Structures are given as structure tokens and as C-alpha cells.
Amino acid sequence: MSGAPRFDAGRSGRLLTQAKAEGRAALVGFLHIGFPDVPISLEAMRRLAVGCDLVEIGLPYSDPVMDGPIIQRTGTAALERGVRTRDALKAAEAVANAGGHAVVMTYWNLVEHYGVDAFARDLASAGGCGLITPDLTPDEADEWMVASDAHGLDRIFLVAPSSTDERIASTVDACRGWLYATSVMGVTGTRTQSSDAAPELVRRIRALRPDVPIGIGLGVSNGAQAKEIAAYADGVIVGSALVRTLVEAEDAGEPDNLDRLQAVLDDLVAGVRG
């Protein structure tokens, strides 16, 4: 868009632009903190810290609006097992100590309850890069804009295929780091085919703001789909396919078995680099 300010890629966006410079897309992996319990989820995130360019730490919330059945199950279980906001900060520290980079994804009520400036301060202190807020629009984010500036955190807002061009442009202007583009309408969950809406949404965003790194989320279930999306997006976000491995391990009576998680992670890494 002519006259638009240069986009600030922050810490997390630079990971996406660095991957692009290497001729590939970045892999962003999501897991909930606290499932099947906090210690095992921390070990799982350390695995992601090695394989993913960016780890998306899910902080469970009792009334999610974007989570599909698999992610809802792990979030609900984590809450029942006593996970707290401070555990997400432990996860950010664990990822950083493993040599990785992390952002937290959660609903705004939890951040407000913790204290907006205190949360930003403690997330930055733990080594976190920023925050994804699916239910917070830039119009209502004044307090977060101030806190994220004060503590040097990225703020990643979402757009969808239904977003108008005006809405996309204003959302990009409010972001620092990268833009989270949902490839389908609805909630998270693996799908047998990737969305036809995703390439068109990326095309519209690039026509408006060619300098913003774009991560595509919702629906990626395997390395082949990751490769398909990596051909046109800067980041491939995978949640349910990774979360499902932990559910299957718990159902098999082996909640600490991360072999299947590692296998899916390896497939996704090969997909974005293929």
C-alpha cells in the first residue's frame, strides 16, 4: 500500500524472514501447556524448540472460540489438572533455554486477569517473543499496545478470508512480528485437504502490504500439506496434528511417550524444507 509505514518484524517475524531468505517457510508448532501434565508438556515443547522455527505456547482458557475438538480436549484437561498462567511463562523459559523461540497464544481475559503490564513484563523476562490474541482486535488493544511496546514484545493479530481489505490493512498496521492468517473459517483441526481460500487471502494481503511476514494456520495435518502452504506463505502453523499425538499417547496409557510427536514433527520439518 503506497505510503504505508515499513512493517516492524520484531523478534518473531525475523524468524520468518530468515527462513524465507533460506528459500523455505518457517514452521510454527503449537502445543498446550499442561497436557498431559506440565512436566511432559515442557519436554514436548523442548522437542518443538529444536524442530520448529517458532513455538506457539497455548495457554488454556475455559471458553475458547477458535479451538477445535482436539485442542479443546487438551485445554480442558490441562485446566482440570491445575495449569496456571505462570506455567506458560515456564514454557517460554524452557523453549528459550533449549535454544528456541516462543510466542504465547491465549484469550485476552487471562492476560487481563494476570495484569496486562505484569504479563508483558514476565513474558519478556522468560524469553518470550510476543503474544497471539485470537479474541483481541486492534481496536480494543490500547493497553496491550502500550505494554508490548514497553517490554519489547511482538503483537500478532489475526485476519480471516472474510476480512475486508480495509480491515487487513489496519490489522497489519497494529501488528509487530507477523500476521496470523486463518486459512479457513471456523475452528482449528486437521483436514484432509488444505484450504483453497488460503492462497487468495495471502494474495490479497501481499497486494496491500508486501513486506509483512504471513503465517497460515488452521488445517495443516502433515508434511505434504505443510509443503503446499510453504510454497506461498512465510510461516506454516501446525496445532491439532501435533496435539493429537499427545492425546493418542495418553489414550494408549503412555502419556510420556513422545515418539509419535517426534515423527509428526520430523514430517512437518521435511515438508517446509522440501
CB atoms within 10 A of CB 63: 8
Residue ranges of E strands in the chain: 26-32, 54-58, 102-105, 130-132, 154-156, 158-159, 179-182, 214-217, 235-238
Answer yes or no: are the C-beta atoms of 178 and 13 closer than 8 Å: yes
Backbone phi and psi for residue 12, each to the nearest 5 degrees, phi listed first: -75, -35
Q: How far is 271 from 102, CA to CA, in rounded Å?
A: 21
- 56, 87, 228, 234: the active-site residue: 56
CB atoms within 10 A of CB 197: 16
The angle at the Cα of 86, spanning 237 to 121, to the nearest 5 degrees, equals 85
Q: How far is 42 from 135, CA to CA, in rounded Å?
A: 25
- 22, 63, 67, 200: the active-site residue: 67
173 catalytically annotated: no
Answer yes or no: are the C-beta atoms of 258 and 16 closer than 8 Å: no
Answer yes or no: are the C-beta atoms of 222 and 233 closer than 8 Å: no
56 catalytically annotated: yes
Residue ranges of E strands in 73-220: 102-105, 130-132, 154-156, 158-159, 179-182, 214-217
Q: How far is 82 from 94, CA to CA, in rounded Å?
A: 19
Active site members: 56, 67
